[in-house]
Structure 1
Amino acid sequence: MDANNYINSIDFTKITNSKEIATGTYGIVFKGQYDNKTVALKQFIQYADNRNVETALRNLRDVRHPNILTLIGDSSNGSSVYSIMEYADGGSLKDFLHNTPLIEYTFNHVVNWALQYFSAVAYLHSRKPSLLHGDLKPSNMLLMDNRRVLKISDFGSVRAEATTNTNQRTNVPYMAPETFKGVKRSQPSEVYTCSIILWEMMSRKQVYENVDQSLHIMRECENGMRPNLEDIKMVYPEELKKLIVDSWEADPLKRPKINLFVDFFSKYFEQNNIIAADLSI
């Protein structure tokens, strides 16, 4: 692929001290140094049709939001293509929630994180054309600044809503049930996904952890299975409970718009005088 077709084509030899730190759905992630800064390098998995990589980078080049990991540039080394992004030093939300030692957090922390990722997804949905992330899950949400800041990442699947289909690889527990039947992903399906992640933050449990196979999860979700709200031990407003339940509707058209979540968390943040600087963990 011709690196000149991409924004900020970076000489790969200027990236030093690279070390593999993770493997994602759409590639391998490295930590390295560029321009005296620590950066994350995403090596895209090579598809038979490399236009998938071009599309991902093209969709991201103009995306700028405080809760979306910033694309610094891109590079190539032989046949491998890399996106160069800011490095998140707090690790993933998944690791924080489930890896020991477990660190305590409050509903105010949940509100802070949820406001950030719902706002980021709402921003993607508001783009022209509308963009879908397509692979939202806690492992693709990264923490920074003493875990006060959350940014969504792993954008190998970002694409225009009109072209999004269901053959993209993702984790079944976070997928809306209609996508199991071949329905294209949509804004309502990402509202469903975001609310599943919200349940996971509030319960600190793995989604469907007692169901051992993806096919079983798919079948049961089509039959109405949803996470158990009684697993949430935090005290939280009834208004939020209704939003979550409505987001799990089988009919995508009955789910609330994502901006209703943004409005709820923004209002809660303000009314309860939550100060982000006090939420270091």
Structure 2
Amino acid sequence: MANLSSDESALIESLPIISEQECDRLIERGVLCGSGCFGVVYQSYWNCQKVAVKLFTHPEMNAKHLLQELLLHVQCSTHPNIVRVLAAGPNVPTDCRFFLMEYADCFSLNEVLHRLPEVSYKLAHAISWTLQVSQATDYLHRGRSLPICHGDLKPANMLLFDNGRFVKLTDFGTAGPLIVEHARRPATLVYTAPEIACVKSGSQLRYTEKCDVYSLAISLWEFLARQRPYETPGFGSSGPTFWNIFHKRPPKLRNCPPLLQNLMESGWAKEPESRPSMLQISNLLEFVLQHVLLRGSQLTPLSVPTELPNPVIEFRENGDLEDWLPEQQDA
């Protein structure tokens, strides 16, 4: 078991505990809604509310790692843009194998972008999502006594609520302190900063807040283009390589305002010290959203269906943002 302080132990022990039998019942009457390298996620009902049951099945995810993820998530979930953990089990803190969390009624941004092409959104939504994630991540970097790097910012870890107008950050499995060196943690290559991606897995290195800035810049491009990064001419169809990550970036977007293009390019700069901070990003985007895009009006609610299509469908171009498609790259 991880060495917890008395305050950390009290925080963990304040969570409701779900027994293994109760978790099995939640899964039996639930619906599978996602899976990953960590395990699976089910939608179910607990205490008369819809919840996400995150079940860890990966053999290398030991109790110490899961307890640390749970602790970080609970500590950070006081921020309005971070998903709340509601319960855990089966015997926290000695045995931690599943979490119960808020259920995102509008799914993740990854699903809205690429599995729900009928969901139409505007530039203001993309800027608002990026702003909210930058504010949540700035809290991780500066708002805690022990600053942490999220380490895996991407649309799949950004969950939508309130008809697509509210974003909450989730998945602290790769999060860790900024002030100490530790082993490179696995994360999604496309969104990983080159100073991390090009280091051998398991090697010791120090994460900085600029790693998260890089990931957010790539995500912003994806919001605007509504295409997956690097699935564009010039990068091949086999996915990103280390060479692409280190030397190339997503193509420029047609008709993109210079301010946003410059923000993305500075955010994914090769040298970490050339990237802005999350605070600088949030200050800029808040001004753009309130004084340029919304001008006193409210963000329009999105028409998000209650269920995802099955099987997975391919994305079709959406008319609202078709002018933002990437520029054609030279062969």
SS of the residue 2:241 aligns to: helix
SS of the residue 2:197 aligns to: helix
Q: 1:25, 1:170 within 8 Å by CA — same for their partners in 2? A: no
Equivalent residues in 2 for 1:115-194 (5 A)?
A: 115-126=131-142, 127-163=144-180, 165=182, 167-182=184-199, 183-194=205-216
Q: 2:88, 2:96 within 8 Å by CA — same for their partners in 1? A: no
Q: 2:108, 2:158 within 8 Å by CA — same for their partners in 1? A: yes
Matching residue's letter, 1:59? L
SS of the residue 1:101 aligns to: coil
- Runs of 5+ unmatched residues, structure 2: 3-8, 200-204, 304-331
Between the aligned partners of 1:106 and 1:36, the Cα distance in structure 2 is 34
Q: 1:84 aligns with which of 88, 100, 106?
A: 100
Between the aligned partners of 1:121 and 1:32, the Cα distance in structure 2 is 28
Q: 1:97 aligns with which of 93, 99, 113?
A: 113
Q: 1:108, 1:274 within 8 Å by CA — same for their partners in 2? A: no
Match of 2:249 in 1: 226
- C-alpha spacing 1:25/1:155, structure 2 compared with 1 (3 Å): farther
- Runs of 5+ unmatched residues, structure 1: none
- C-alpha spacing 1:80/1:227, structure 2 compared with 1 (3 Å): same
- C-alpha spacing 1:244/1:37, structure 2 compared with 1 (3 Å): same
Is 1:39 aligned to residue 59 of structure 2?
no
Matching residue's letter, 1:69? V
Between the aligned partners of 1:164 and 1:9, the Cα distance in structure 2 is 33
- C-alpha spacing 1:65/1:194, structure 2 compared with 1 (3 Å): same
Larger Cα-atom Rg: 2
Deviation at 1:20, TM superposition (A): 2.2
Q: 1:217 aligns with which of 241, 245, 252?
A: 241
Matching residue's letter, 2:213? V
Deviation at 1:80, TM superposition (A): 6.2
- C-alpha spacing 1:164/1:173, structure 2 compared with 1 (3 Å): farther
Deviation at 1:122, TM superposition (A): 0.9
Between the aligned partners of 1:47 and 1:276, the Cα distance in structure 2 is 45
Is 1:262 aligned to residue 282 of structure 2?
yes
Q: 1:166, 1:179 within 8 Å by CA — same for their partners in 2? A: no
Between the aligned partners of 2:180 and 2:43, the Cα distance in structure 1 is 32
Q: 1:124, 1:131 within 8 Å by CA — same for their partners in 2? A: yes
SS of the residue 1:113 aligns to: helix
Q: TM-score, normalised by structure 1?
A: 0.88
Aligned-residue sequence identity (percent) comes to 26
Matching residue's letter, 2:226? R
Deviation at 1:240, TM superposition (A): 2.7
Match of 2:320 in 1: none
Match of 2:89 in 1: 75
Superposed CA RMSD in Å reads 2.6
Matching residue's letter, 1:66? P
SS of the residue 1:190 aligns to: helix
**How many aligned residue pairs are there?**
276
Matching residue's letter, 2:139? Y
Between the aligned partners of 2:220 and 2:299, the Cα distance in structure 1 is 22
Is 1:60 aligned to residue 85 of structure 2?
no
Greater shift, 65-74 or 186-195, is seen at 65-74
Deviation at 1:184, TM superposition (A): 3.5
Between the aligned partners of 1:24 and 1:271, the Cα distance in structure 2 is 40
Between the aligned partners of 1:131 and 1:46, the Cα distance in structure 2 is 25
Between the aligned partners of 1:49 and 1:280, the Cα distance in structure 2 is 39
- C-alpha spacing 1:277/1:243, structure 2 compared with 1 (3 Å): closer
- C-alpha spacing 1:150/1:55, structure 2 compared with 1 (3 Å): same
Matching residue's letter, 1:217? T
Q: TM-score, normalised by structure 2?
A: 0.75
Between the aligned partners of 2:274 and 2:218, the Cα distance in structure 1 is 16
- C-alpha spacing 1:53/1:67, structure 2 compared with 1 (3 Å): same
SS of the residue 1:278 aligns to: coil
1:50-103 Cα deviation digits (max 9, x unpaired) = 211111111122211111111112121897611111100111111111124333
Deviation at 1:164, TM superposition (A): 6.4
